[in-house]
Amino acid sequence: MIKQVKLNDDIIFGDPKKPFVLLAGPCAIEEEDRVLRIAEGIKKITDKLRIPYVFKASFDKANRSSIDSYRGPGLEEGLRILERVKKEIGLSVISDIHLPEQA
């Protein structure tokens, strides 16, 4: 038996009636307006196709191949932008963490 994890009323991971949930967004949060446009664009598509959707983007991509690569806006700014996606676009959001103090 697969354990179910309820994110909200529309998204239940492990639900045999809705086995697919799309987690999508830019790899790293960059310009705020771009993040909002991406979230809105994917939401329009997933709404039309009736696909459950969770917006995913990282505020810190610590696993870059070059030390000089852009890593993201950082925890506070990144969470502020993700909060806008949640409130203004109406999406659940998820990100990844790299350190215990980011949890």
pLDDT in tens, 50-98: 999 999 999 987 776 777 777 888 889 999 999 999 999 999 999 988 7
d(CA 99, CA 103): 7
d(CA 17, CA 41): 25
Cβ distance 21 to 52 under 8 Å?
yes
pLDDT tens-digit map of 5-48: 888 888 888 888 877 899 999 989 999 999 999 999 999 999 99
Domain ranges of the chain: 22-102
The amino acid present at 36, given as its one-letter code, is: L
For residue 37, the Cα-to-chain-centroid distance in whole angstroms is: 13
Helix (H) or strand (E) holding 54: strand 53-56
Structure tokens at 72: 């993201």
